[in-house]
Structure 1
Amino acid sequence: MISVTSKCSHAEEQQGSARTLCLCQQNVSGAQCALLYTTHSGQRRIRIHNMGLNCSAQLADVYRACETDALINFFAKSAFEAILSQPLKTVRDILVSQTAHMLACYKKNCASPATLSQLILPETMKVLPVYMNCLLKSCVLGGRPEIPTDERAFQRQLLMAMGVADTQLFFYPLLLPLHSLDLQSDAVPAAIRCSEERLSEGGAFLLANGLSMFLWLGAGVCPELIQGLFNVPSFAHISAQATSLPDLDNPFSKKLKHILEQIQSQRPHTMKLIIVKQREQPEMLFRQFLVEDKDIYGGASYVDFLVCIHKEIGQLLS
């Protein structure tokens, strides 16, 4: 094993009467960080943090242990940092190239023999292409001129501080069918894929991305559901300006309220509720979060992006 040791000294930082000096020591099997500081009472102390990392001589083990959620968090932060010093197209091309190289390396060195026409994905990285496509279609990397600079800067700063779970939801929202709720159970309904083909005119769906929650209502949704949620007789009477649901004493309303509270409790930000009625103006905003579809600004659908990555892998291995 080759041991690599390095030390990096950070500038001393004055905070009140406390002065800190951080020394980091790294090697191939772990990391150690030592913090030397003086307390307000004048005591000199040192705090040491150790982290052990698993190592392997087998490339297949690396793919087998890969955590795609953490990987996309890393790529997103790296890309959002890179756009400050590199052209947007360069950053986008690098993301596509790195995705293709990772999957080509797996196919060449780890996968069972297969024809060049097959797209082979590691079991732990099957959702990497869909996440990467969502990252490329984000307002920060999408390059859409109609998005204000302030909005781009806000989302960039927001994501740079996000943890893995929040990044996952930000790029691939949670989409729940509400019209088939089991009122006898406390369980949240199973999520479905974020695609327009999963919607139905007679259904109601909740979409949450960590910043907002959208309650989408089909034009043919049953009157009983409308009455149970909004206490109005028909679809036409629903107000799309509302930002909350009324407190009603019926099983469906209580169940949905419970789901909203449960989702909100897992997020660090309060999510605004937006009511979306099918074929009305706010639906355009809602459809931007159906991330598996081709968007109106030219962003590739998930299927189109898979085709693109497949071609890139073929070129690398040919």
Structure 2
Amino acid sequence: MVALKHDDKLQDGSECAFQCALLYTTLYGQRRIRVSTLSLPCTNNLSNLFRMADLDTQFVCFLKQAANEVPSTPPLHVREQVTNFCTNILLSYRKFCATVSSSGQLILPEALKLLPLYTIALIKSTGLRTDGRIDDRSFWINYASSVSAPLAIPLVYPRMIGIHDLDLQEGDGSLIPQTLPLASEYVSDDGIYLLENGQDCLIYVGSSVDSNLMHQLFGSSLLDEIPAQFVLQQFNNPLSKKLNDIVNEIRRQRCSYLRLKLCKKGDPSGMFFLSYLVEDKVPTGGLSYVEFLVHIHRQIQMKMSS
């Protein structure tokens, strides 16, 4: 990640251009230069800035800054820095842009309304936790340092969908069904769920799933007969076809094969799946998403009154 600093004043209404040149060699040995130019309008109005904010781009900056800090800074301090980034942004909006409202209300800019959610997801991610394997943290740091913007958010806030009721879900024209919040209240014992983060695809099977449903999706009514890592097959039924279409579409979107891993409730693999439910309260002391919003709000109130 490259940070740019400009000391001169920019005139309101003018445009500022960013240009990047990439020198590369093609497959046939030809040397080429690819030039990319981005021109953005300048403004001295913070309301315009917040209204046009790009959450994905801003978050990928947070992510890469955190990844760069982890090797030399204790994870606790990095988590505090990430929280302060989020707090200061929302404080600026509350202080300079928001209309007069009750002090007991947390005000979020429309373009950044998911910033607290992604922030707590980053705080609970593999790279900032201390209870995981050092190899996993090292891989996370290396991957996050160069991850593209479209893959940054799935890395910390994966996509979860229910696949046990695909026949009942009403489509909106997209192959991918509506996603579910990453909270245990949306995971039932009689359900099967798919969770993907751009690298891995976890299939979580509840303890009370119908055996006929298992047979339709996996070709076996017994969960123990399905290996932990498996290749998804398509069977001669509509539910299996829908699941295969969804997985293939996700692979196309992520440009990754996505290894399939089976997770069972009551098994270490099931606990691994549940560790991705970042909106839940963590037994070791991590806040739930609602508690994190309350914490952010209190921090803003304290800074507003100081």
Q: TM-score normalised to the size of structure 1?
A: 0.81
- Quick one: structure 1 residues 48 and 217, their matched pair in 2 at CA, closer, same or farther if it must change by over 3 Å? closer
Deviation, 1:199, is: 0.9
Taking only the aligned residue pairs, the percentage that are identical comes to 33
2:141 is matched with: 156
Between 307-316 and 268-277, the greater mean CA deviation after superposition: 268-277
1:4 is matched with: 8
**2:197 is the alignment partner of 1:212:** no
Q: The residue matched to 1:201 in structure 2 has which SS?
A: coil
1:191 is matched with: 179
**2:133 is the alignment partner of 1:129:** no
Please say if residues 142 and 299 of structure 1, whose CA atoms lie closer than 8 Å, have aligned partners that are also in contact: no
Distance 1:151 1:254 in 2: 33
**2:278 is the alignment partner of 1:291:** yes
Q: The residue matched to 2:268 in structure 1 has which SS?
A: coil
Please say if residues 202 and 260 of structure 2, whose CA atoms lie closer than 8 Å, have aligned partners that are also in contact: yes
Distance 1:55 1:207 in 2: 40
Between 274-283 and 101-110, the greater mean CA deviation after superposition: 274-283
Please say if residues 230 and 238 of structure 1, whose CA atoms lie closer than 8 Å, have aligned partners that are also in contact: no
- Quick one: structure 1 residues 87 and 199, their matched pair in 2 at CA, closer, same or farther if it must change by over 3 Å? closer
1:177 is matched with: 162
Between 73-82 and 87-96, the greater mean CA deviation after superposition: 87-96
1:269 is matched with: 256
Between 128-137 and 299-308, the greater mean CA deviation after superposition: 299-308
Q: The residue matched to 1:140 in structure 2 has which SS?
A: helix
2:84 is matched with: 97
Match of 1:231 among 209, 219, 223: 219
Matches within 5 A, 1:9-48: 29-32=16-19
Distance 1:236 1:49 in 2: 51
Greater helix percent: which structure?
2
Q: TM-score normalised to the size of structure 2?
A: 0.84
Provide, for residues 188-221 of structure 1, a one-character-per-residue CA deviation record: whole Å limited to 9, x for no partner.
2111101100011221111111121111122222
Q: The residue matched to 2:292 in structure 1 has which SS?
A: helix
Query: Which structure would you say has the larger Rg?
Result: 1
Distance 1:248 1:88 in 2: 46
Gaps of 5+ in 2: 1-5, 25-31
Distance 2:22 2:279 in 1: 45
1:41 is matched with: none
Q: Provide the alpha-carbon RMSD of the alignment.
A: 2.7
- Quick one: structure 1 residues 269 and 34, their matched pair in 2 at CA, closer, same or farther if it must change by over 3 Å? closer
